[in-house]
Amino acid sequence: MAAHCLKVGIDFGTTFSGVAYIDTAKPDDVISIMNWPGEPRNFEKVPSEISYNAAGEVHKWGYEINEKDEKLAWFKLLLDPTQYASKNSSTLSRTLGLFPEGPQSKEPVHVVSDYLSCLRKHTLATLERSYGKVFMNAIPIKYTLTVPAMWTDTAKALTLDAAVGAGLGSRDEIELMSEPDAAAAWTLLKDLQSTHLKRGDVFVVVDCGGGTVDLISYEILSLSPNISVKECAGGKGELCGSTFLNQRFEDLVISRAGKQNFDKMKTRSLNRMLREFDQSLKRNFTNAEDDDEFVCAAGGLPDKPEAGIECGEFTFTREDMLGIFDPIIDRIVPLVQNQIDVVDAQHAGVSPVSAVLLVGGFGSSQYLYQRLQNELKKGEGIHRSSPEILQPVHAWSAVARGAAHGIHISSRKARRHYGTKILAAFIHGKHPIENMEICRYSGRQRCENVMDWFINYGDQVSENAPISITYYRNVGLSDSLIFYDDLYEYAGTSAPEYSNRPHNGTLRTLCKVTSDLSNVSKSRFRLSRGINGQPFYEVFFNLVITIKSAAIVFHLELDGVKYGTAKATYIHDFNAMRA
């Protein structure tokens, strides 16, 4: 029987974040934190915003920040440079501008850490009010922090670093989980009756957040006593979340008011206008015919009646609002259609997709729901049926709630190739002559730059079946037993045989793995003699890799037993994003 603990799910979002928790003594009772500093009303989420004082210390966060404060927002997007959004957004531009000046040259990972620290402290204070200090000092906590499925492993590792820096892993356990996995967990736990999903059904989770839209298809393997699913189509996603609606709204204001007038707006007036669009107009848009006009505050903009700007207000039409929404939704619809097509192709042309589940803040949009209903009914593409489009209960907080509860994913579809470079025995006529080298110990000819792909794109990968890579080293009598190896990822379809030969696609270093066997006696290894009788050790060890929901975990083994340590260092350059 599992030990009694509290399980806390944290949905760290681009624009809003949420927290939910479960006392394992009452596993069906998932509670969302609803009270937040600076906000007297109850909300399931808190703004992902933070402000600093001149000393670089956290001044305010979330709802505490008012319209006149200089704030950092959307900083989550900066954790993944390969998915980095356009700097044309004034919010992102201001955030980038504050990094080198305001908070003492903090990098995104440090700002994320500061924000998560605020979230952690408030969560613990809330739990202490409910359970008492004595209970909280004794009970273990298992944190699950969610990340976009489309993110790179580097960005996921940075998120985990930020969480540990925030104190989430100081006393308790912490792990990452993909946002669609968490959303699937909550939907299957609480919405089975309304969705009519059953064993064998396939459903698509469309997690529409602030920055990203993530899609993954799952097949239900079991619902009782435990929920278990497997991925049946690899996750896809794009940067087409609701922040890009905000961006298009800014573009609309600039086109009507003029860039010079927009740039002259005071921080307070600009924040008020953007917040009114974000938290009211955007969320309530339904494309109803009687909604002909929309009005928001525009203090600081000079009157320009022909542009709808008058007396400190900006008035725009339903056609303007459609011009904001449609280009973004036009990117989401093909993503959903493609997921259905892929699943259909895997099932001999008969689509088994029963439902498309919209979750996340943007996933609650009535207009997005309407558009998907209409587009999927057209039957375009190769899919043969029109699955139900569903917006589950608590769609906005589904990710945090599902992260707290958890789910068993029996297997996942690999999103790219993963491999490492090895030295192979050189075979003349097979290996490129430029890759030949001579071992300084044994004198044998070897081929370098040979790629060993231990995971290929589309492979079904299971947490219960770790992957073991055998490494071989010739080591001098006084040489160190600390080894350094690069792991690579490849985004193309057919992975290259050699790292130094031309190839289609992107081959990049995923991380640098340090394998430390310094606490192992060299007497465990075979002692050989090479050139001129020179003694050396033949060192064999296994790097064992486990692919989890949103992380890659490493450990070392000798003869099937865990030894030493394996640590991965991911490569990330924030300065390149600021250039």
Looking at residue 118, which CATH number applies to its domain? Answer: 3.30.420.40
Are the C-beta atoms of 395 and 415 separated by less than 8 Å?
A: no
Cis peptide before 81 (omega within 30 of 0): no
3-class SS of residue 446:
strand
The residue length of the chain stands at 579
Q: Read off the CATH number of the domain in which 543 is found.
A: 2.60.34
3-state secondary structure of 161: helix
Q: Using CA of residue 142, residue 148, residue 153, residue 158, what is the dihedral sign? A: negative
In this prediction, residue 465 carries a pLDDT of 85
Whether residue 118 contacts residue 62, with contact meaning beta carbons closer than 8 Å, is answered with: yes
506 vs 18 pLDDT, higher one:
18
Q: Which residues contact 479 (CB under 8 A, 6 or more apart)?
A: none
Quick one: which of 183, 150, 158, 179 has its CA closest to 75?
158
The pLDDT score that the predictor gives to residue 101 is 53
Which of 118, 39, 169, 178 lies closest to 463, judged by CA? 178
In a domain, 266, yes or no: no
Instruction: Check pLDDT > 50 for residue 87.
Output: no
Q: Is residue 210 part of a domain?
A: no
Closest CA to 15 of 245, 211, 284, 250: 211
Q: Quote the domain boundaries for residue 543.
A: 414-578
Last residue of a domain, one of 134, 165, 180: 180
pLDDT in tens, 438-472: 998 889 999 999 999 999 998 999 887 899 999 98
Q: Which pLDDT does position 28 carry in this prediction?
A: 82
Average pLDDT over residues 180-201: 80
pLDDT of 103 > 80? The answer is no
Contact status, residue 189 vs residue 405, Cβ threshold 8 Å: yes
What percentage of the chain has pLDDT greater than the value 90?
Answer: 57
Identify the band that residue 501 occupies on the pLDDT scale cut at 50, 70 and 90. Answer: confident
* pLDDT at 195 (0 to 100): 62
pLDDT over 50 at 182, yes or no = yes
| pLDDT for 94 beyond 90 | no
pLDDT at 85 over 80: no
In this prediction, residues 184-194 reach a mean pLDDT of 76
pLDDT of residue 333: 95
Q: What is the CA radius of gyration of the chain?
A: 26
Residue 14 DSSP symbol: S
pLDDT for residue 448: 94
Evaluate whether residue 438 is within a structural domain: yes
Q: For position 349, what pLDDT does the model report?
A: 55
The proportion of the chain whose per-residue pLDDT surpasses 70, expressed as a percent, equals 91
Highest mean pLDDT among 97-111, 383-397, 487-501: 487-501
Mean pLDDT to the nearest integer, 6-27: 95
In a domain, 203, yes or no: no
Query: Is 89's pLDDT higher than 60?
Result: no
Q: How far is CA 354 from the centre of its chain?
A: 26
What's the domain count of the chain?
2
Q: Is the pLDDT of residue 117 over 50?
A: yes
Q: What is the average per-residue pLDDT within 413-436?
A: 93
Contacts of 270 (CB under 8 A, 6+ apart): 90, 300
CA distance 148 to 12: 10
Mean pLDDT of 273-298: 92
Tell me, yes or no, whether 225 lies in a domain. no
Cα-flanking dihedrals φ and ψ of residue 116, to 5°? -65, -30
Looking at the domain assignment, is residue 523 inside a domain?
yes
Q: Which of residues 136, 151, 180 is at a domain's end?
A: 180
pLDDT at 149 over 90: no
- Amino acid letter, 380: E
pLDDT at residue 95 in the model: 63
pLDDT higher for 7 or 377?
A: 7
CA 192 vs CA 297, 364, 369, 537: distances in Å:
42, 18, 20, 59
Look up the pTM and report it: 0.87
Residue 311 lies in a domain: no
Q: Which two tokens stand for residue 19?
A: 């927290």
State which amino acid sits at residue 169. Answer: G
Three-state SS for 453? strand
**8 Å CB contact between 250 and 242:** no
pLDDT of residue 100: 47
Q: 443: helix, coil or strand?
A: coil
> What is the structure's pLDDT at 218?
92
Note whether residue 212 is domain-resident: no
Q: Do 566 and 514 meet the contact criterion of CB atoms below 8 Å apart?
A: yes
Domain boundary among 180, 209, 238: 180
User: Rounded to whole angstroms, how far apart are CA atoms 21 and 406?
Assistant: 11
pLDDT above 60: residue 285 = yes
How crowded is residue 176: how many other Cβ atoms within 10 Å of its Cβ?
Answer: 21
Residue 574 has a pLDDT of 54
Q: pLDDT tens-digit profile of 332-361?
A: 999 999 999 888 887 665 557 888 999 998
